[in-house]
Chain A
């Protein structure tokens, strides 16, 4: 059986230094040599390897250019189905420089399979029936920027969410190719991205989903997005898509699935990563690792996507607004808006989701009583009656799950 390609990391812009040795790297950067000796072989300093956002909407906001992380301002998320050029980017490592769909393979192994198997992309596409679902993917850290004390990591505001149409085989069908044993508990993924430290043996991120989520009909091993091949930044040519869970559960550049007999223990499954305190804690409190619980379904949330914040609106005219609402594994049952900081709320018109785990669309009109400064706040409520808080919800060390109401500012004049 062949090893799946870890990466097609080609020489060139990034690769040439890998051969020239740590000392040379140190000299280029003007570093003192004693530190350069710590550089792992293969590390290519950032100065030589900025990644780009080619093909993206120019309005995206880059949080970090290596690894690439970029969020989408709310008004650019107005499309009902998120197009590729308005999809946020969350990379934990360096994306593979080139991928070859013709030779791409997926291996299914782990303690809880009957017989490990490796399939080519073509075999996957031939052998399994393809399904298409619109699936909402939100980064667990979306909204992190609002936590105080500050939480570590990319300071996402509101724009780390998307809802595109994904096409692929059902994960549960694919796992059957290797045979799932009764003791199966979790499915972990591995991808072809490479670690920032340059250490080729270091896995960047390997998360996954519990078996029950893996068995849901909408959990896909996807090879297409919005009817086209998956874009390079978003996991070409193959990725996992588990809508409603933190987007980090949906591994990109997928090369391997491990069916585990325990909770998967890859990098970023453990410690504080994608976990919140099992019980509520005070802001800034130290939380030991064993008291942190894995995030599964994301909480209820909504975004006003039209108009964008900061507009000027003529007095005396009602203002139309619209947006999306989603609630992890649940449906959204109601969206309300307020122009008086929550003193009164009015219900918006809310549509049903295209399918389970797709976001829903709302729209309404508001009338401003007189000229002046207003904020329009939106609040969604899920099928179980849980609403978005107006303030930032429970503090947690890594700043996950901020589902506080979204709001836009309007000058009526």
Chain B
């Protein structure tokens, strides 16, 4: 009976699931992100970040006591609540007592509690700091961009030409031939191919904070530049130095009158239907002319 229920559950409820007879799965482990100043809400562990792997399911650092903490502390709420908190042993013991007294947490034997608490105090230990911590990394402006006459900047800028022309050409032709609703289909089919074809040794693409196609998520280096350009006015481009001597280059994309047919507020019913069918999680409507839509990006290799 139980087996039947679990079997059903595997189909209905979870993507990664073990049959009841099999041993528990080993933790899925991925490399810890590069060390960075803590970003609140998605803070890396206070431990020497980068030195330890983190569990892909929960974000918990994989170290002694990890299995116990994953098993005990992610049952009622997710691990996100655990890993955004910081404190010494006393802090974590106090928290466990509070949950036991008021939130239905079960008792632990002494050894279990000790393992949990020392894991937490080691990897999610108290933070130093005085009366006012500095701004977190995600709120800081990017470094000053390289000058326009820099060879890599020129290369990045030039590489975006074919992408822009390819996209604009396809869009205008498709609208003329098939109307806006029909052109959604053309963009859907061709936009990713155009970006691919325009990528030579310099990789190029488009990205936005409000995506239509999740495939247009910015590369990691471009995300802070995208965020910054979204708040900036009259800034023609930004750059980021990439590991190994490469250069990341981004340019803002503004919304023009033509774009409103598919990204504005009052979309024709045919366009709405096409978008709903092809992009169920579309965030790229509601724009007005002149708004910041996103960026073109280019990744220029060293040399």
Write the residues of chain A forming the contact surface with B, with a CB cutoff of 8 angstroms: 12-13, 16-17, 19-21, 23-24, 27-32, 35, 38-40, 43, 45-48, 50, 57-59, 61-67, 69, 71, 75, 145-146, 148-150, 152-155, 157, 195-199, 202, 267, 271, 307-314, 317, 373, 375, 390-392, 404, 407-411, 413
A-chain residues with CB within 8 Å of residue B130 when the two chains form the complex: 148
| Closest partner residue, chain A, to B137 (CB atom) | A310
Contact A312-B235, Cβ < 8 Å, known A48-B14, A58-B283, A150-B126: yes
A43 touches B75 (CB 8 A): yes
| B48: interface (CB < 8 Å) | no
Looking at B57, B107, B126, the one whose CB has the most chain A CB atoms below 10 A away is B126
B-chain residues with CB within 8 Å of residue A75 when the two chains form the complex: 231
Contact A20-B14, Cβ < 8 Å, known A149-B91, A155-B41, A310-B140: no
Residue from B6, B71, B135 within 8 A of A24 (CB atoms): B6
Residue from A31, A196, A314 within 8 A of B77 (CB atoms): A196
Chain-A contact segment, one of B98-106, B162-170, B175-183, B262-270: B98-106
Residue from B2, B6, B84 within 8 A of A154 (CB atoms): B84
| B30: interface (CB < 8 Å) | no
- Specify the main secondary structure of chain A where it touches its partner: loop
B-chain residues with CB within 8 Å of residue A21 when the two chains form the complex: 2
A-chain residues with CB within 8 Å of residue B57 when the two chains form the complex: 47
Contact A24-B228, Cβ < 8 Å, known A38-B106, A148-B130, A312-B235: no
- Bound Cα distance from A199 to B78, whole angstroms: 17
A64 touches B76 (CB 8 A): no
A195 touches B71 (CB 8 A): no
B80 touches A409 (CB 8 A): no
Looking at B81, B132, B140, B238, the one whose CB has the most chain A CB atoms below 10 A away is B81
Contact A24-B231, Cβ < 8 Å, known A46-B75, A63-B41, A157-B40: no
Considering only residues 1-44 of chain B, those with a C-beta below 8 Å from chain A are 2, 5-6, 8-9, 12-14, 17-18, 20, 23-25, 40-43
A28 touches B5 (CB 8 A): no
A373 touches B209 (CB 8 A): no
* Size of B's binding interface in residues, CB under 8 A: 74
Residue from B6, B23, B95 within 8 A of A28 (CB atoms): B6
Residue from B41, B98, B103, B141 within 8 A of A312 (CB atoms): B141
| B199: interface (CB < 8 Å) | no
- Bound Cα distance from A148 to B84, whole angstroms: 14
A-chain residues with CB within 8 Å of residue B23 when the two chains form the complex: 30
A-chain residues with CB within 8 Å of residue B14 when the two chains form the complex: 47-48
- Specify the main secondary structure of chain B where it touches its partner: loop
Task: Name the distance in Å between B37's Cβ and chain A's nearest Cβ.
Answer: 13
A-chain residues with CB within 8 Å of residue B13 when the two chains form the complex: 13, 16-17, 48
B-chain residues with CB within 8 Å of residue A375 when the two chains form the complex: 135
- Bound Cα distance from A244 to B77, whole angstroms: 29
A309 touches B126 (CB 8 A): no
| B196: interface (CB < 8 Å) | no
Residue from A43, A58, A67, A312 within 8 A of B142 (CB atoms): A312
| B127: interface (CB < 8 Å) | yes
26 A-B pairs within 8 Å (CB atoms) are namely: A16-B12, A20-B2, A27-B6, A28-B9, A28-B17, A31-B24, A32-B71, A46-B75, A46-B76, A57-B283, A64-B84, A149-B126, A152-B85, A152-B91, A152-B94, A271-B98, A307-B232, A308-B227, A309-B139, A310-B227, A312-B141, A312-B228, A312-B235, A375-B135, A409-B140, A411-B144
Considering only residues 213-252 of chain B, those with a C-beta below 8 Å from chain A are 224, 227-235, 238
A-chain residues with CB within 8 Å of residue B154 when the two chains form the complex: none
- Bound Cα distance from A126 to B23, whole angstroms: 59
- Bound Cα distance from A308 to B233, whole angstroms: 11
| Closest partner residue, chain A, to B238 (CB atom) | A312
- Bound Cα distance from A202 to B131, whole angstroms: 38
B-chain residues with CB within 8 Å of residue A408 when the two chains form the complex: 139
| B74: interface (CB < 8 Å) | yes
Looking at B71, B75, B85, B140, the one whose CB has the most chain A CB atoms below 10 A away is B75
A28 touches B18 (CB 8 A): yes
Residue from A23, A65, A148 within 8 A of B2 (CB atoms): A23
A64 touches B209 (CB 8 A): no
A-chain residues with CB within 8 Å of residue B2 when the two chains form the complex: 20-21, 23-24
| Closest partner residue, chain B, to A34 (CB atom) | B109
A154 touches B81 (CB 8 A): yes
Considering only residues 60-81 of chain B, those with a C-beta below 8 Å from chain A are 71-72, 74-78, 80-81
A148 touches B129 (CB 8 A): yes
A-chain residues with CB within 8 Å of residue B24 when the two chains form the complex: 29-31
Looking at A30, A50, A67, A153, the one whose CB has the most chain B CB atoms below 10 A away is A30
- Bound Cα distance from A281 to B106, whole angstroms: 32
Contact A35-B106, Cβ < 8 Å, known A48-B14, A58-B210, A311-B232: yes
A413 touches B144 (CB 8 A): yes
